[in-house]
Amino acid sequence: MSNGGQFDVLWPLAKRAVNATGAAPAIPDLSGKVVAELWDLIFRGDEMYAILREHLQQRYPGIRFVDHTHFGNTHGNQDREIVAGLADKLRALGCDAVISGIGA
């Protein structure tokens, strides 16, 4: 070996492009709160959200929901535009919390 058995080594991970942020604090009580339902239209979200709504309404009086039809498909051909405008839309609709990622 002409290089004496030494090899260049590359680190397989790139530098972080975005600084991580912590999660928002949990809402201690969802009573009277508005909860947005985001769905990617892939797996039975319509059925799952109906079940979740029923259970959450029993547990938290006055809870209200903004269903996924107000937001669009979060995993479709317009997902970038939908996600880019999501924070403003959630604020405009008065949402306090979000349920996202219903799936198998």
Task: Give domain limits for the chain.
Answer: 40-99
In a structure prediction context, what are the per-residue pLDDT tens digits for the chain, which is 104 residues long? 566 777 777 777 877 778 888 888 889 999 999 999 998 888 888 888 999 999 999 999 999 999 988 988 888 788 889 889 999 999 999 999 999 875 55
For residue 31, the model assigns a pLDDT of 97
CA atoms within 13 A on the CB side of 1: 5
pTM of the model: 0.74
Edge-first strand order for the sheet with 97-99 is 64-66, 34-37, 97-99
DSSP string, 42-85: SS-HHHHHHHHHHHHHHHSTT-EEE-GGGT-BTTSTTHHHHHHT
93 near 70, Cβ under 8 Å?
Answer: yes
pLDDT of residue 11: 76
pLDDT of residue 92: 97
